[in-house]
Structure 1
Amino acid sequence: MPDHPAPTDCRSTADRRLDVRPGDVRPGTAFDVRAARSGDLYGAAVARVASWRGAFAGLVPQDFLDAMDPAKIAASWADSIAAGRSRLYVAAAVAGGEIVGYAGVGPEREADAPEHVGELYALFVHPDWWGSGAARVLTDAAVADLRAAGCDQVWLWVLEANIRARAFYRRYGFTETPDRTHSSLNNLPELRLRLQARPEYSNGDRTKT
């Protein structure tokens, strides 16, 4: 992974195009993990829709799941990326080039969050690729992005009922916090998880890597 100078404000929305190495996750499977290109967005949106329908059936309204439109999702991402509100990474299968999932990152959205906190907005992998290791290499890219942005911590929200996702994040190193909120979809409870992205410095020295 190349070295990147860390700006003093983790909440910056500057575009950070990291050179992420392909992730070898198990014999016979490898992914090209990269900052999303315009041609990647529709494939990532297809993965999102399939993942939502696979993970959230029975939890969120079925009419919402049925109405999810990959083309509209891809267009909204293009606008968000162009405006600097978020950054998107995709994982493409080296064999065949299929976009199997994505991760979205950017500044922590809560106005009163500490300065050096970034957020993993979303992490979704197509159900056909669950268990392949794609989620791990995408999370690696997301954390590397936020670390390069100067973030000390990575926060995220996850549905309390999403046991599979919670187990993955705990294995990765995230810690569940007491913070709770409710999703706008069906008022489902969500909990916040936190990852220490950098060593904690007791002397205020943030120049170490």
Structure 2
Amino acid sequence: MIHIREMTFADCERVAEIRIRGWQSAYAGLIPQSYLDGLDLADEISRRRAHFEQAGEGVLNLVAESSGKVVGWSCHGPYRGGELPTKDAELYAIYVHPDHLSQGVGQALLRESTARCATAGNARMLLWVLKENAQARRFYERAGFTPDGTEESWDVAGVAVPEVRYSGPLAAAP
């Protein structure tokens, strides 16, 4: 059984491990391997702790537990794009430890994030996904998200990596 709860500071080390392993698994062949090989757990733990302590208003980190062990992580909050604030939410990250893929962990995290954003009054959720990440794109499309036509690239170790933005409507629970 998967249990979703709010992340605590004590979870930062495990979340850092999940994030690195998630990147190395999901992005192999999509971003430079030298970058993936160079991901450092100690650096990532420091980053997760700093992000956790400095999370802005409305930012929420969730973890998924299975048999008492954290196996997934997601983070959402206000949409960070555009010049004017909107009522849109953004899924900043969602990662599942590679040993727990295809077990419903990602779906449970996404359901909880979207439910919380709907309850907070957000009309839709936006997220960015690597254009060539077919597996992630199928995951979001099965959950009702669709590409909205917005694309941009970001630089990873000197390589432009294209991303597409997805949008999904949020409906408050009855």
The Cα shift of 1:114 comes to 5.8
The Cα shift of 1:113 comes to 5.5
Alignment of 1:136-175 (within 5 A): 136-175=107-146
**CA, structure 1 residues 168+122, in 2 after alignment: closer, same or farther (shift >3 Å)?**
same
Report the counterpart of residue 99 of structure 2 in structure 1. 128
5+ residue gaps, structure 2, are none
**CA, structure 1 residues 138+195, in 2 after alignment: closer, same or farther (shift >3 Å)?**
same
The Cα shift of 1:193 comes to 0.4
Moved more, 101-110 or 141-150: 141-150
- Aligned residues with identical type, % of pairs: 31
Report the counterpart of residue 169 of structure 2 in structure 1. 196
Instruction: Give the count of matched residue pairs.
Output: 170
> 1-side partners of 2:51 and 2:121: how far apart?
21
**Contact in 2 for aligned 1:43/1:98 (Cα 8 Å):** no
> 2-side partners of 1:90 and 1:145: how far apart?
14
> 1-side partners of 2:32 and 2:73: how far apart?
23
RMSD: 1.8
TM-score for the superposition, normalised by structure 1: 0.75
Choose the corresponding residue for 1:70, options 28, 41, 45. 41
Alignment of 1:1-209 (within 5 A): 30-85=1-56, 86-93=59-66, 95=67, 97-112=68-83, 115-185=86-156, 186-198=159-171
1:187 partner SS:
strand
**CA, structure 1 residues 80+117, in 2 after alignment: closer, same or farther (shift >3 Å)?**
same
Kindly indicate which of the two structures has a greater share of residues assigned to helix.
2
> 1-side partners of 2:152 and 2:142: how far apart?
23
Higher gyration radius (CA): 1
> 2-side partners of 1:195 and 1:169: how far apart?
9
> 1-side partners of 2:41 and 2:112: how far apart?
23
**CA, structure 1 residues 138+113, in 2 after alignment: closer, same or farther (shift >3 Å)?**
farther
**Contact in 1 for aligned 2:15/2:48 (Cα 8 Å):** no
1:198 partner SS:
coil
5+ residue gaps, structure 1, are 1-29, 200-207
